[in-house]
Amino acid sequence: MQPLPKLGVGLAFQAPLRHMVEAKGHDFDFVEVVPDIFWTDCGPEASPRHIEDDDGIALLRRIMRRRPVIPHSIGLSIGSAHHFDQAHVAQMKRWWEWLRFPWHSDHLAYHLAEHRGDQANAGITLPLARDRESIDLLLPRIAEVLRQVPVPFLLENNVYYFEIPDGEMDEATFVNTLCRESGCGLLLDLHNLYTNARNHGFDPMAVLSSLDLAQVGEIHVAGGMELDGFYLDAHSDVVPDPVWELLEWALPRCPNVGGVVFELFGSWVDTVGTERVRNDLRRMKQLWATAQGETTGRLRRQPVRAQ
């Protein structure tokens, strides 16, 4: 994974956070957006298929005058067995042509599946089987994304509430192999990792320390909630202490990372409050500054190899 521009701390856009995103200030350095909410997908038979939201595009252009904008898509469903959505990739190419983002991302998952001859939307990202067949499915699709959109492409480690039995690989091996063979990077979602560890009873540090952190291009943090015996990746609170601990350990060990992003769903903004959001963003900026200093120092201390 090539080093990404060091943008710093990002805030994921949600409509109730619009006043923060448009205001002056130094609590965060860039804005991450879900591009799919700024267009209407009229379906595979429609022409044009994607109709842009003019007001939304105007908002993004205003944001771009103050801060970089990074797309984090939800619509590709790159792991769907029955179909690879070339039109979605083409839409992201059109976005890159006017937005010129330094990287973009999507989810290492799927939500679209074939059902009785029709396409069904599960409404939630679903995990892939961690096997060679999944990697072989993903490799040409990632290659096509990289061909059409000529900037680094990251895939986010997925949250999962059930395990697919008889996996050939553990999560770290699967992700490391995919990144190494495909050329994509990892969007390391530490709250997803914490959620999975809490629900399935494993040590998140065991997975984190097994990942090739040189492949990490971006990090996500968030908060969640308990419901019916599960801990949910609900993006419903500020960052919990165990996720801060994971971030503090991981951030200086990710030499190519371009930024760390806080996610909060819009429906929880009033409950959480913008001042608590700002406090977490400030803490993230402190960790970012410390980590960049540690990374630089560690690189300077590396011995020169004999030629």
pLDDT grade for 147, boundaries at 50, 70 and 90: very high
pLDDT for res 205: 98
DSSP strand pairing (118-126 vs 110-115): antiparallel
- Tokens 């490799």, residue located: 139
- Single pTM value for the model: 0.94
Distance CA 120, CA 123 (A): 9
pLDDT tens digits for range 242-300 = 999 999 999 999 999 999 999 999 999 999 999 999 999 999 999 999 999 876 555 44
The C-alpha angle 69, 105, 207, rounded to 5 degrees, equals 125
Count CB atoms within 10 A of the CB of residue 241: 7
Res 259: pLDDT: 98
Nearest Cα residue to 128 out of 142, 118, 117: 142
Summarised one tens digit per residue, pLDDT across range 224-249 is 999 999 999 999 999 999 999 999 99
51-65 per-position pLDDT tens digit: 999 999 999 999 999
- Please compute the mean of the pLDDT values over residues 40-46 and round it to a whole number: 86
Q: Please work out, in degrees rounded to the nearest 5, the angle formed at the alpha carbon of residue 291 by the alpha carbons of 287 and 296.
A: 155
Three-class secondary structure assignment of 102-169: CCEEEECCEEEEEECCEEEEEEEEECCCCCHHHHHHHHHHHHHHHHHCCCCEEEECCCCCCCCCCCCC
Tally of CA atoms within 13 A in the half-sphere of 179 that contains its CB: 26
Q: Whole-number mean pLDDT of the chain? A: 93
Instruction: Give the pLDDT mean for 40-60.
Output: 91
Rg (CA), the chain: 19
Please tell me whether the peptide bond between 48 and the residue prior to it is cis, using omega within 30 degrees of 0.
yes
Q: Which domains are assigned to the chain?
A: 8-296 (3.20.20.150)
pLDDT value, residue 305 = 36
Neighbours of 166 (CB within 10 A): 8
